[in-house]
Amino acid sequence: MTFGSRFAAALEARGPLCAGIDPHATLLHEWGLDDDVAGLERFALTAVEGLAPHVAVVKPQSAFYERFGSRGVAVLERVIAESRAAGALVLLDVKRGDIGSTTQAYADAYLDPASPLAADAITASPYLGFGSLDPMIDTARKHDAGLFVLALTSNKEGPEVQHARTEDGAGSTETVAGRMLDHLRQLNAGEEPLGSFGAVIGATIGESPLDFAFNGPILAPGFGAQGGTVADIRRIFGSAVSAVTPSSSRELLRRGPSIEAMRDEALRLNEELRA
């Protein structure tokens, strides 16, 4: 099955929620853990146990593991493997973007099943030009993996690039974010039930004139503790809402270290989103 097919099936079976497993130092301390590799491992694997069996998508943020060096990356490998074993899709949040052989190396690291870090999909930055992602796109196709491209994020610095206007080749202009969505629309054309090439679009972006129906999956970070609501998800994405996985991290992880409390919060949020 393509990633788009697996994504659509997972959301249908488990609900749309994406659970972020981001071991912030402050969260480790809130759990009574030290900010070291032992604390990281206890935190991350407990979160996997509480969340991965109950959500469609698990999204570990690679940076919070990388900061501990090779031992932290070893924990990330376990998070990926154990989340997938629990039936969740793993979207590895790495936001990589480079050119040529370096992009290919990133693709091999995160999308090739031969790699211990291989995930179902990754996040990627297209702002060296969308064509710079071609090695990732080709590798994703080869291995039935997915790619979520940064399109319209909700950080305050984003509009400097994403709202800038560029010529569309026909004498008019469009925003850079709109151009990214056009590229995704082309990649996903004709795919059923959904293409495998998605976008990252913030759940707190406010009003946007862009058309988010590009036949691909959408990751909507910022749901929950960062202010995004179910009403925001409906308002922003409209007819494309069935392809959206809203991501929540702190809202879930602050229920820990209780496995049951994290599970119950994930189930509650999923029911709220399904409604």
Q: Give me the active site residues, please.
A: 95
Question: What does each C-alpha distance from 43 to 52, 142, 165, 252, 256 come to in angstroms?
Answer: 14, 34, 43, 13, 9
Q: Is residue 181 a contact partner of residue 201, using CB atoms and an 8 Å limit? A: no
Rounded distance, CA 148 to CA 143, Å? 15
Q: Which residue has the tokens 């301390």?
A: 29
Q: DSSP string covering 121-162, please?
A: EEEE--TT-GGGGHHHHHHHHHHT-EEEEEEE--STTTHHHH
Here the tokens at position 75 are 């924990």
Rounded distance, CA 63 to CA 264, Å? 27
Here the tokens at position 125 are 């930055």
Q: How many helices (H) and strands (E) does the chain have?
A: 12, 10
Q: Which amino acid is at 174?
A: E
Of residues 208, 207, 145, the one with CA closest to residue 180: 208
Instruction: Report the SS3 class of residue 4.
Output: helix
Question: What does each C-alpha distance from 172 to 166, 167, 168, 169 come to in angstroms?
Answer: 8, 6, 6, 7
Could you tell me which residues are beta bridge partners of residue 186?
A: none
Could you tell me the maximum CA-CA distance found in the chain, to the nearest angstrom? 59
